[in-house]
């Protein structure tokens, strides 16, 4: 089976799934017309610098490669034609199978979220990060797609019939990183000889609740606790993971209501990981979630308990690793996609 993943690569997921499916015996390719500072791995990415040259390069790639694919797996509400999605009906007419993978702001109804839930990134997000084509993307997906995936369970309420597809991760890569974390961590007993290092890598400070995290750590420092917030920003993905690997604890976000790719990566490294997870979405995860739940209301109180009890860290880290292996392994996620492509879900 020949499979296209793109044209975006959120969290590196398109690249990871394409690689996993190749190793499972299929001709899968990931391509992205838009890169980010994280430099996520992708089989093909645009090299052009100007808008018009990028459009021309992408058009040449699509014209030369699109007909060969059997399956198109689109990410973040865009297709080969970008947010316009004009090609989706045509792809269906010529017998292609089309799947969408929504990841958050590309499909979330911000007004509904603000009016329904006490905590939300939508309530503090300005200017709004919502994809401008999300209404059209929802309509096109529901009308034409052979299958719709969402990366987090809170998005299921916006897409009837969609399936939760957990964010994929390369476990072998993170296992090797985890084995090296002892050598990379600062010497000394955390909280005694050195500060407890808390990693936080916000893609956007406002929607991740970063101000609350900074203020909580500063208050703990004034209370005499040895803690240090390691803010990881403006780095490549590899550099960010290396920096976080030298920390003891990790914080994903305090507002969104579900954990993201960063939490998956931190759990894979064996880091006790904090995140705001809404009570109503907990039963929608395939297994009991080991993330340490905290919101902007109680983060300081939750954090101080974990800072004061390092004897909890090892068990929490192992629980996170087991969960990621069972839920987020890229081969398991890739196999779910393959079954869907073949109409077996």
124 and 93 in a common domain: yes
Tokens of 231: 């803010």
Is residue 344's pLDDT more than 80?
Answer: no
Same domain for 184 and 160? no
Task: Quote the number of domains for the chain.
Answer: 2
- The pLDDT assigned to 63 comes to 85
Asked if residue 329 lies in contact with residue 19, where contact means CB atoms within 8 angstroms, the answer is no
- The CATH number of residue 110's host domain is 3.40.50
For tokens 């089989």, what's the residue? Answer: 43
Task: Identify whether residues 106 and 54 lie together within a single domain.
Answer: yes
- Do 81 and 140 fall within a single domain? yes
* Chain centre distance of CA 88: 25
Residue 209 pLDDT class (50, 70, 90 cuts): very high
User: Judging by beta carbons within 10 Å of its beta carbon (0-12, 13-18, 19+), is residue 303 exposed, middle or buried?
Assistant: buried
Q: Are residues 48 and 119 in the same domain?
A: yes
52: pLDDT confidence band, cut at 50, 70 and 90?
confident
The answer on 156 and 26 residing in a single domain is yes
Q: What are the tens digits of pLDDT across the range 210-221? A: 999 999 999 999
Rounded to an integer, what distance in angstroms lies between the CA atom of residue 293 and that of residue 246? 22
Please check whether residue 281 is in contact with residue 153, taking contact to mean a CB–CB distance below 8 angstroms. Answer: yes
Domain, as residue range, for 236: 171-327
Region of poorest pLDDT, from 69-78, 88-97, 180-189: 180-189
176 and 47: one domain? no
**Both 263 and 336 in a single domain?**
no
Alpha-carbon distance 197 to 36, whole Å? 27
**Whether residues 216 and 226 fall in one domain:** yes
Of 3, 4, 17, 7, give the one whose Cα is nearest residue 261. 17
Residues 289-305: tens digit of each pLDDT: 999 999 999 999 999 99
- The answer to whether the beta carbons of residues 231 and 244 sit under 8 Å apart is no
pLDDT of residue 36: 61
Count the Cβ atoms, other than its own, within 10 Å of residue 279.
8
Whole-model pTM?
0.94
Digit-coded pLDDT (tens) for 29-41: 999 976 666 788 8
Q: Are 278 and 301 in contact (CB under 8 A)?
A: no
Residue 281, pLDDT above cutoff 70: yes
For residue 65, pLDDT beyond 90: no
**Order of strands, sheet of 196-200, starting from the edge strand that comes earlier in the sequence:** 227-231, 196-200, 249-251, 273-275, 292-293
Give the pLDDT score at 40. 87
Domain harbouring 295, CATH code: 3.40.50.2000
Mean pLDDT of 233-258: 94
Tell me if 171 sits within 8 A of 329, measured CB to CB.
yes
Q: What is the mean pLDDT of the chain?
A: 93
**What whole-number distance in Å separates Cα of residue 65 and Cα of residue 68?**
6
- E strands present in the chain: 2-6, 27-32, 44-45, 71-75, 97-102, 147-150, 163-164, 196-200, 227-231, 249-251, 273-275, 292-293
Are residues 193 and 148 located together in one domain of the fold?
A: no
pLDDT band at 56 (very low <50, low <70, confident <90, very high): confident
Q: What is the pLDDT of residue 184?
A: 61
Asked if the model's pLDDT at residue 327 lies above 80, the reply is yes
Same domain, 205 and 279: yes
68-92 tens-digit pLDDT: 999 999 999 999 999 999 999 999 9
Q: Across-strand partners of 71?
A: 3, 97
Question: Do 299 and 336 fall into the same domain?
Answer: no
Q: List the alpha helices (DSSP H) in 70-194.
A: 87-93, 110-116, 134-144, 171-179, 181-184
């Amino acid at each position: 089976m020949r499979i296209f993943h793109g044209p975006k690569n959120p969290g590196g997921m398109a690249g990871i799934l394409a690689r996993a499916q190749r190793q499972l015996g299929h001709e899968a390719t990931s391509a992205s017309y838009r890169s980010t500072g994280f430099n996520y791995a992708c089989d093909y990415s645009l090299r052009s610098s100007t808008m018009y040259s990028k459009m021309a390069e992408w058009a040449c790639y699509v014209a030369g490669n699109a007909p060969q694919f059997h399956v198109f797996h689109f990410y973040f509400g865009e297709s080969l034609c970008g947010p316009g999605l004009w090609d989706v009906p045509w792809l269906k007419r010529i017998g292609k199978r089309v799947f969408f993978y929504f990841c958050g702001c590309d499909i979330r109804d911000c007004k509904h979220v603000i009016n329904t839930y006490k905590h939300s990134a939508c309530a503090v997000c300005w200017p709004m990060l919502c994809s401008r084509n999300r209404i059209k993307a929802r309509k096109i997906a529901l009308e034409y797609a052979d299958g719709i995936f969402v990366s987090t369970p809170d998005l299921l309420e916006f897409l009837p019939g969609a399936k939760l597809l957990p964010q994929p991760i390369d476990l072998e890569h993170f296992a090797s990183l985890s084995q090296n974390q002892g050598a990379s961590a600062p010497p000394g007993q955390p909280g005694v000889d050195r500060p407890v290092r808390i990693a936080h890598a916000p893609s956007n400070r406002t929607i991740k609740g970063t101000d609350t995290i900074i203020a909580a750590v500063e208050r703990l420092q004034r209370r005499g606790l040895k803690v240090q917030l390691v803010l990881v920003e403006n780095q490549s993905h590899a550099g960010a993971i290396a920096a976080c690997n030298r920390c003891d604890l990790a914080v994903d976000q305090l507002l969104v209501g579900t954990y993201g790719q960063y939490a998956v990566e931190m759990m894979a490294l064996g880091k006790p990981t904090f995140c705001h997870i809404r009570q109503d979405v907990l039963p929608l995860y395939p297994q009991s979630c080991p993330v340490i739940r905290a919101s902007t209301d109680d983060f300081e109180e939750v954090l101080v308990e974990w800072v004061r009890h390092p004897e909890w860290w090892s068990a929490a880290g192992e629980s996170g690793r087991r969960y990621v292996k069972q839920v987020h392994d890229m081969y398991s996620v890739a196999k779910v996609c393959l079954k869907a492509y073949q109409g077996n879900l």
